[in-house]
Structure 1
Amino acid sequence: MSRPAVAFVVGTRPEAIKLAPVAVLLGRSDWAKPNIISTGQHGATVAETLRGFGLEPDVELRPVRDLPCVGGLTSSLLHVLAAEFGHRRPELVVVQGDTSSALTGALAGFFAGIPVVHLEAGLRSRDITSPFPEEGNRKLIAQIAALHLAPTTTARDNLLAEGMDAASIVVTGNTVVDALQSSLGAAAPYNDGVLEAADRSGRPLVVVTAHRRENWGAPIGRIAAAAAMLARANPQLLVVVAAHMNPAVRATIEQPLRAVANVHLTGPMGYAPFARLLARARLIITDSGGVQEEAAALGVPVLVTRDTTERTESLDAGLSQLVGTREIDIVTAAGHLLAGDQAPAGRFDGANPYGDGRAAQRSVQACRWLLGKGERPHDLALTSLHH
């Protein structure tokens, strides 16, 4: 007999990274098979990321692209996903995080009467405008999900505080740790002579990324100016700017940095070489939630160029600090960290607040339990983790 399908809705590269370990393990099971639906949000980038885990999209949708507003994208995605679930009725719909693809995948599944599983449930910044629209998206998904796969006990507590049924929440850890461990084990080449030379010489690296919608425009310009100031003040460093795939975002951050000798602009990178780059960094400056989690798993200090973050576990563990987007705040905090004034110069010791690399295993077991085909997994006890 053919195995029933579990739909994975994937729109962006971060979703592909975090859903891939779950899809891989489910594909090895004897009770269900993954059906990977690419919504076309990040198109070829999603397909490339999935291939790094040995996966391919089963379905590639064609929503209306380049719409001028979030509402237009959301309505287009909902339309094509509703049609897909009407044509093929999976046993479950799995969505990850807080993107437009995640929200519309959850809504389309709910409208079709298909149980929705929310991977990375329960993250909250407690500011509905930041990140926008992600904070709203993830709160809406929580209202209709049948199963909440919370990455941490803090995320579980957020869901309980909002009235979610405790029986519907499983603490799994974050699958980004699974993905990171798998990718680092592959030892992928950079295909970048500057980065390969820096690895051979042991030159210290600072990695900078920026892409958040609320930082578009002047805030990203200030982040770029701070990176330039930091590079000029520390000529021994190589400041690596791994820019976003959005060309407008990339132009804003790259333009002020082109004339700085010890700044290297990589453009978008594949996930495996990017993981290798993060593991080499002395310091990371980012507005990315996923990078905050990856840095914690690697023990690399992070300056978060936002005013709020839903990754509070990193803050509580002393692995990251919020600095906003003012140049002087970024440069001052970076200087202290690089000098060892505020944190260890090397890697951090202690528990990884985002899990043990077995989040995908717990997630697959939880899906099986939801369908009445297996036992409920034990919640991850993060306090028992050690590097």
Structure 2
Amino acid sequence: MNITIIAGARPNFMKIAPIIHAIQQKRSLKFDIDFRLIHTGQHYDKKMSGDFFEQLEIPDPHSNLEAGGGSQAEQTAAIMVRFEKELIENPTDLVLVVGDVTSTMACAIVAQKLHVKVAHVEAGIRSGDWSMPEEINRLVTDSITNYFFTTSDVANINLLNSGVESERIFFVGNTMIDTLLKNRPKFNKPEIWDELNLMEKNYIIMTLHRPANVDEEYKLKNLIEEIIKNTHGLPLVFPVHPRTAKILEGLGIAFDNMHLIEPLGYLEFNYLVERAKAVVTDSGGITEETTVMAVPCMTLRDNTERPETITIGTNELLGTDPNAIAPAMEKLFAGDWKKGAIPELWDGKTAERIVDELVKLYRINKK
């Protein structure tokens, strides 16, 4: 069985790493299974060096399509054109896509048009917000997927409600958590820890990247000012994209306890998250990691595609109104934040379950 695995952005590699390990494990047991890893190049990340792949213990991609840049449409077209050529030159039994980036959707379309089956890992999650490009990617990908691997019962219900047959849905858990649990013992203290004299549970981490938060300048200013006002003077560590840093500089936002730093590596960033008093974010993936590490999390969005991090985990959806920040911070500093629990099957064994199911499906289809 040959599987072509697609990754288009840095978080995708966290999701596919344990799947690659599970395939390698099957091969060591003499199973007839192999993979080809394709990086579409959708996002260029200078931190995705050899060290990055070494940390995740995965090989360099077999091919990089270098399809980054341009508008949504230009990027989608570039990925499709280049992946079609790749797939024709390197036939496969299955294309496996993860998450909800443009590459996920584009490669699923190409595969189906070439009559290759598609498996979608992290299928069925929905925010209900069609203004998010990721939501369109999810909807399109799931409308043409053959096998759906899900992270939660909510995702299962979303798929069933959209007409997907139950026998094509496999509730397996969360591969991001596989990666987190495997690497947790290896979290690495970044230099910033000593430079800022950080102390455990005595600082807050913030990440903001969604255009709705960072591109509207005065909205960003109001959010940050309100957060700073309610941090009780604790250090606010903000790994920030250079573009966002320029916006902040232009707005004249600077506070003694706000520390803008460059984006960190996976092991370094999660070292800080694990020891933080809380995380303020607009990311989806981070809410999953904070849930497993039992770190209070405040999400500055009006919706989320990961509701289990709220109903079960340590996350709270604050929305984008700055007035919601003070009550949340008050609850945090009063020690009243919910303890949370870990969602079902977020146990570090998701990738094994995925590969087991793929092997079964392959054998059934070969009969």
TM-score > 0.5, shorter chain as reference? yes
Matched, 1:13 2:14: no
CA deviation digits over 1:239-259, x for unaligned, max 9? Answer: 111224xx3234335665863
**Which of 306, 315, 324 pairs up with 2:319?**
324
Gaps of 5+ in 2: none
Verify the 8 A CA contact 1:97 1:121 in the aligned structure 2: yes
- How many pairs were matched up? 358
The aligned amino acid for 2:277 is R
Aligned to 1:149: 149
Q: In structure 2, do the counterparts of structure 1 residues 192 and 318 end up closer, same or farther at CA, with 3 Å as the change threshold?
A: closer
Aligned to 1:383: none
What pairs up with 1:120-139 in 2 under 5 angstroms? 120-129=122-131, 132-139=132-139
| Aligned-residue offset at 1:331 | 3.4
Aligned to 1:372: 363
Aligned to 1:358: 349
**Which of 60, 63, 75 pairs up with 1:59?**
63
Q: In structure 2, do the counterparts of structure 1 residues 182 and 317 end up closer, same or farther at CA, with 3 Å as the change threshold?
A: same
| Aligned-residue offset at 1:361 | 1.0
What pairs up with 1:249-328 in 2 under 5 angstroms? 249-253=244-248, 259-317=254-312, 319-328=314-323
Gaps of 5+ in 1: 375-387
SS across alignment from 1:104:
helix
Equivalents in 1 of 2:135, 2:231: separation in Å?
37
SS across alignment from 2:191:
coil
| Aligned-residue offset at 1:147 | 0.7
Which moves more between the two structures, 222-231 or 310-319?
222-231
| Aligned-residue offset at 1:182 | 1.7
Percent identity between the two aligned chains: 27
Equivalents in 1 of 2:189, 2:335: separation in Å?
30
Equivalents in 1 of 2:191, 2:363: separation in Å?
47
Q: In structure 2, do the counterparts of structure 1 residues 171 and 195 end up closer, same or farther at CA, with 3 Å as the change threshold?
A: farther
| Aligned-residue offset at 1:194 | 4.2
The aligned amino acid for 1:295 is T
Which moves more between the two structures, 89-98 or 310-319?
310-319
The aligned amino acid for 1:372 is R
| Aligned-residue offset at 1:358 | 1.1
SS across alignment from 1:192:
helix
Aligned to 1:377: none
The aligned amino acid for 2:210 is R
| Aligned-residue offset at 1:355 | 1.3
Equivalents in 1 of 2:21, 2:251: separation in Å?
41
| Aligned-residue offset at 1:105 | 1.3
CA deviation digits over 1:332-358, x for unaligned, max 9? Answer: 3223222224x25xxx25343561111
Q: In structure 2, do the counterparts of structure 1 residues 237 and 334 end up closer, same or farther at CA, with 3 Å as the change threshold?
A: same
Aligned to 1:243: 240
The aligned amino acid for 2:227 is L
Verify the 8 A CA contact 1:174 1:355 in the aligned structure 2: yes
Aligned to 1:192: 192
Verify the 8 A CA contact 1:207 1:278 in the aligned structure 2: yes
Verify the 8 A CA contact 1:204 1:282 in the aligned structure 2: yes
Q: In structure 2, do the counterparts of structure 1 residues 229 and 256 end up closer, same or farther at CA, with 3 Å as the change threshold?
A: farther
Q: In structure 2, do the counterparts of structure 1 residues 221 and 303 end up closer, same or farther at CA, with 3 Å as the change threshold?
A: farther
Equivalents in 2 of 1:373, 1:52: separation in Å?
36
| Aligned-residue offset at 1:196 | 7.3
Equivalents in 2 of 1:119, 1:321: separation in Å?
25
- What's the TM-score once normalised by structure 1's chain length? 0.85
CA deviation digits over 1:47-81, x for unaligned, max 9? Answer: 55433212211111122x431x2111111111111
Aligned to 1:385: none
Verify the 8 A CA contact 2:231 2:329 in the aligned structure 1: no
| Aligned-residue offset at 1:310 | 1.0
Verify the 8 A CA contact 2:147 2:168 in the aligned structure 1: yes
| Aligned-residue offset at 1:189 | 3.1
**Which of 111, 118, 121 pairs up with 1:119?**
121
Q: In structure 2, do the counterparts of structure 1 residues 179 and 41 end up closer, same or farther at CA, with 3 Å as the change threshold?
A: same
SS across alignment from 2:302:
coil
The aligned amino acid for 2:34 is K
Q: In structure 2, do the counterparts of structure 1 residues 192 and 249 end up closer, same or farther at CA, with 3 Å as the change threshold?
A: same
Equivalents in 1 of 2:252, 2:144: separation in Å?
45
Verify the 8 A CA contact 1:16 1:49 in the aligned structure 2: no
Verify the 8 A CA contact 1:231 1:238 in the aligned structure 2: no
Equivalents in 2 of 1:146, 1:372: separation in Å?
15
Verify the 8 A CA contact 2:301 2:320 in the aligned structure 1: yes
Aligned to 1:178: 178
Equivalents in 2 of 1:309, 1:171: separation in Å?
20
Matched, 1:78 2:80: yes
Verify the 8 A CA contact 1:303 1:322 in the aligned structure 2: yes
Verify the 8 A CA contact 1:13 1:49 in the aligned structure 2: no
Verify the 8 A CA contact 1:205 1:237 in the aligned structure 2: yes
SS across alignment from 2:298:
strand
Equivalents in 2 of 1:231, 1:58: separation in Å?
45
Q: In structure 2, do the counterparts of structure 1 residues 370 and 272 end up closer, same or farther at CA, with 3 Å as the change threshold?
A: same
Matched, 1:231 2:228: yes
| Aligned-residue offset at 1:233 | 4.6
Equivalents in 2 of 1:254, 1:76: separation in Å?
34
SS across alignment from 1:34:
strand
SS across alignment from 1:372:
helix
